[in-house]
Amino acid sequence: MGMVNRSIETRASLAVVGAGVAGCAVVAGLRQQGWLGSLSLWEMGRGPGGRSSARRSRQDPDLHINHGAPCFNLDSAALELAPPRLLKPLLAGGWIEPWCGVMASLGVDGSLHPPLDSPLGRGQLFQGRGGMDQLCGGLLALGDQLGPPIERHFGTLVRHLSVTPAGRWRLQDAGGQLLDEVDWLVLSSTLLAHPRALLVLGWQVIPLLEVARQLQDPQLDHALATIGSIRSVARSALLLVSGADAARHWQQLPFRLLEFDPPAQQRFGLSRLSIQPLEDGRCVVVAHSSTVVAEEHLGVYGSRSAIALQLGAGGAGEREQQLIAWLSEALQQALADHLEPGLIGAADRQLMRWGAAFPLQPGLPDALQLCAGSRIAFCGDAMAGPGFGRVEGAWRSGEALAASLLPHLQGRAPTPVPRAAPSGQNPQG
């Protein structure tokens, strides 16, 4: 019996698109549950992490900038849920640690107040040790310890999807080159299934929608219609790196994380500020714009973002510099009562734009997250459920998907409804 299961187990193959928290949690979760089949992970960014990543520099190995989530919270007690299963091993392995900084809020007149009751601040807070990307790095390392190595492919945008007559998924890059052919596909990001791909990447069609037309799977059609209707809000982020002298001023501020209350967001055009001291005495400061400011500057990427590199777009040149100057001035005004003038202008400054920073409710319901008839499944912070729109939701959705995928990958699940044979291949295929 064990022998039979093992042979089925190792024969099935799975590709996961996206190495953010959800994608890394699904691969680590599968290994933790003993699945030893072939696993590949495809990510357009230069490393794992997605919106919980850290910007690093080859020339400056001590530098890491948490340019998305600066930390994350687990609200398990309030949600009356056990913490994610992989939490303990990640803490024990030193990949993540409790976040112990002070939180505060800023009022419209620039005055400081106790923290707001925000969904991002409830429960226990944690951070990646030495950078937020360590959370995903740790998940992948745990996965590797528990089974055959997870094949990682960074810096690779999956551009085309198609299905063979035998029902296997084919992944191709922008040039039409075959990247992988697998039994099962997991999308941990909505990008390949959402109209924003048309806007952001200038594509003519939504890749998964094109395939779904051939598959004629009502559950997948329903999932795609729901994913297509998920809206999200954007953020532009000003990233500052201050030398050791200026860093002291930042570190003397009586908070590490500052949230702007709604009137302050409207006045200053900023929503959050995070102060991230580096071990060598320097200090990183990241200021997130308000939604309104980010939406007004959606076309200004930040020349060092993964998407700008993928598109071969060098950011927006002058517009990027203008937005950096505007956000710097806004930050200076907001902190006028607390910070010496000149510190912001003297820092090394960069821009990062998150086109879809936070999804908006309700997200993709449970019943549509695994479409067995088409051997495709979804995870990520846009899945309806506890922790929605946060690291916790992404993590939980990945672990939950691993549990529900397992019987399918092991051939123990009921036979799915047969799907229509695709009428043709992707023209690139």
Q: In terms of CB distance, is 20 or 269 closer to ligand FAD?
A: 20
The CA-based angle 98-289-313, given to 5 degrees, is 105
Tell which one of 354, 369, 371, 372 touches ligand FAD (CB under 6 A). Answer: 354
Amino acid at 223: A
Q: Are strands 55-56 and 64-65 parallel, antiparallel or unpaired?
A: antiparallel
Closest contact distance (angstroms) between CB of 235 and ligand FAD is 4
Report the side by side order of strands in the sheet with 348-359: 112-113, 103-106, 257-260, 270-277, 283-289, 232-242, 348-359
282 and 128 Cβ atoms separated by less than 8 Å: no
Closest contact distance (angstroms) between CB of 389 and ligand FAD is 6
302 binds ligand FAD (CB under 6 A): no
Classify burial at 420, counting beta carbons within 10 Å of its beta carbon; exposed 0-12, middle 13-18, buried 19 or more: exposed
371 binds ligand FAD (CB under 6 A): no
Residues 48-67 close enough to bind ligand FAD by CB under 6 A? 50-52
- State the DSSP code for 344: H
Residue whose C-alpha is closest to residue 397's, from 221, 242, 186, 195: 186
237 binds ligand FAD (CB under 6 A): yes
How far is 347 from 239, CA to CA, in rounded Å? 9
249 HSE (CA, 13 A, CB side): 17
Dihedral sign, Cα of residue 26, residue 404, residue 357, residue 114: negative
Q: In terms of CB distance, is 20 or 83 closer to ligand FAD?
A: 20
238 binds ligand FAD (CB under 6 A): no
Tell which one of 35, 42, 260, 268 touches ligand FAD (CB under 6 A). Answer: 42
Q: In terms of CB distance, is 21 or 182 closer to ligand FAD?
A: 21
331 binds ligand FAD (CB under 6 A): no
Tell which one of 180, 217, 381, 399 touches ligand FAD (CB under 6 A). Answer: 381
How far is 391 from 23, CA to CA, in rounded Å? 12
Contact letters (x/-) for ligand FAD, 83-122, by CB under 6 A?
-------------------------------------x--
288 binds ligand FAD (CB under 6 A): yes
Q: In terms of CB distance, is 95 or 218 closer to ligand FAD?
A: 95
Tell which one of 69, 258, 293, 370 touches ligand FAD (CB under 6 A). Answer: 69
374 binds ligand FAD (CB under 6 A): no
Residues 244-273 close enough to bind ligand FAD by CB under 6 A? none
How far is 231 from 421, CA to CA, in rounded Å? 32
DSSP string, 240-272: EEE-HHHHHHHHHSS-SEEEE-HHHHHHHSEEE
Beta-strand runs (E) in 278-423 = 283-289, 348-359, 370-371, 376-378
- State the DSSP code for 398: H
169 binds ligand FAD (CB under 6 A): no
Closest contact distance (angstroms) between CB of 243 and ligand FAD is 24
Contact letters (x/-) for ligand FAD, 396-425, by CB under 6 A?
------------------------------
68 and 354 Cβ atoms separated by less than 8 Å: yes
Closest contact distance (angstroms) between CB of 412 and ligand FAD is 27
Residues 173-192 close enough to bind ligand FAD by CB under 6 A? 188-189, 191-192
Tell which one of 39, 43, 226, 236 touches ligand FAD (CB under 6 A). Answer: 43
Dihedral sign, Cα of residue 307, residue 295, residue 200, residue 232: positive
Q: In terms of CB distance, is 375 or 396 closer to ligand FAD?
A: 396
Q: Which stretches of the chain bind ligand FAD, using CB under 6 A?
A: 17-23, 42-45, 50-52, 68-73, 120, 157-158, 188-189, 191-192, 235, 237, 288, 306, 354, 357, 380-381, 389-392, 394
